[in-house]
Every structure is written in structure tokens, then in C-alpha cells.
Amino acid sequence: MVEAGGKLVSTYLTGYVNESDLAYLGGWPKELQAIFGINLLETDTLYPKDQVSIDYGSQMYSAKDYCSRVVLKGAIYILLNNQTYSSIG
């Protein structure tokens, strides 16, 4: 359990459908917003040629395939983006 010091791992597609693979209406579930301290406004699929650069600490990374617009709801911002994602395409 996370409450007892465990770790919770999430991926970029966490929380889009329920146990019956039906999509949630109205965005990311409120329970996940509370747990992660964020709200995902939208997620776009990028074209294979598109990438977004991310500078995290002293390392450079590339985001590809998917990019999301995120609103903080209690989470702490730790990434410095070299390139801002704003609905590519």
C-alpha cells in the first residue's frame, strides 16, 4: 500500500478506461487527480517525426508518441522543458 510507504507507478495512459475498457467521460478520474496531484487536460498522439525535448537535471530526454497538457493540483513541478508542448499538429 502506498499509505504504508509503498510506491505507486503510473504510465502515460493510466486512468483513461475502467475495468471494462470503457472510457471515462469528463476527463481524468477525480480519484487519480487527488492521488497524483495533477489533472490531465488532454493527451495527443504525436506523428512519428515529432518529438519534444525535456531537460531534467543534467540529462536531456525526448518525449515522443504522446504528450499531455497537465495542470498541477498539489503536485510539485520538477521538470524544466526546453520546448513547450502545446498541441502539436
Q: What is the DSSP letter of 64?
A: -
What is the number of domains present in the chain?
A: 1
Per the structure, the complete domain to which residue 65 belongs is given by 2-81
- Residue 87 in any domain: the answer is no
**pLDDT in 10s for each residue of the chain, 89 residues:** 677 888 888 887 888 888 999 988 887 899 999 988 999 888 888 999 998 887 777 888 888 898 888 888 988 877 555 555 554 44
CA 43, CA 70: separation in Å to the nearest integer? 9
- Residue 66 counted as domain residue: yes
Residue 88 domain-assigned?
A: no
Q: What is the CATH number of the domain that holds 59?
A: 3.40.50.880
Tell me whether residue 39 is in a domain: yes
Q: Within a domain: residue 28?
A: yes
| Matching residue, cell 525526448 | 62
pTM over 0.85: no
